[in-house]
Amino acid sequence: MKRTQWFRVAILLALIAMIAAACGSSDSKKSTTTTTTSSAASSAAEGSAGGKLVGTFKITAGDCAAGAVTAGSYFQMVQSGGTIEAGPYVPNADSTCGDKNFSALIPGADGGLITGRFQTQPPSPFDAAKNGVALLIVQPLKFFGTGFAVSTNPTDPQTSAAVTAPSITADAEGKLTGDLRAVTVAWNGQQFNQGSPKPDDSHPGNTKDLTGTYDSATGAYTLQWSSEIVGGPFNRFTGIWHLVGTFVATK
């Protein structure tokens, strides 16, 4: 083969190799793009899917600069014989709000309510003045001169019944349901179950199941439930719990 012919063949082979390499690179890019897109779609689908939310419902403190709590988390108490919607409510003289029917909640040492495990009260749940001292979920709140403290415990302190840890579930549309029977309040040397349902699975009086919303893209949530007190000095009075904040999943 003459040198000129050999040179032409070499150039042709080089061109074929370049074209093949370009095609391979294009296929690889297409494959990578497809894989990346598929992975992103899968992550988005997982983030928006319903299921149990296990982690911390971080609490945003209540803001009552305008009188009533207009943003954030709060507690109200309905007087015996009243309703959730219309009261009459118990005015808390120690509330920092202008509207004493509201008591703003401030996040505790854990930042909020944890699902999937308990946030127990200390072995000695009261100090010498009978203030509740548990401070993991929310900071103890003054209520008629005495601090009340919130906790969740495997044995309900009021009824001595064994209970399950808090559980909250989101459906595909972000609607929340749950079981908070373990929630209890320690105040003035006494214990009051403030869960829903009650430890025996009942819903006496104004006790209403947890409802709420959840945005899987941002973690923003709202929770509300009510629990009527059974027995003791506040028999048939009802606690209303309204929590707002951001959910952070357990890693």
Note the pLDDT tens digit of each residue in 163-194: 999 999 999 999 999 999 999 999 999 999 99
Distance between CA atoms of residues 115 and 58, nearest Å: 11
pLDDT at residue number 49: 53
Find residue 199's DSSP bridge partners.
Answer: none
Question: With 70 as the cut, is the pLDDT of residue 134 above it?
Answer: yes
Burial 114-139 (b: 16+ CB within 10 A, else e): bbeebbbbeeebbeeeebbebbbbbb
Pseudo-torsion of CA 210, 212, 218, 219, nearest 10°? 0
Note the pLDDT tens digit of each residue in 87-109: 999 999 999 999 999 999 999 99
pLDDT at residue number 106: 98
pLDDT grade, residue 12 (50/70/90)? very low
Tell me what percent of the residues of the chain surpass a pLDDT of 70. 80
Question: With 50 as the cut, is the pLDDT of residue 141 above it?
Answer: yes
pLDDT at residue number 37: 38
Distance between CA atoms of residues 120 and 118, nearest Å: 6
Note the pLDDT tens digit of each residue in 219-241: 999 999 999 999 999 999 999 99
Cβ pair 113, 56 in contact under 8 A: yes
CA 198 distance to own-chain centroid = 20
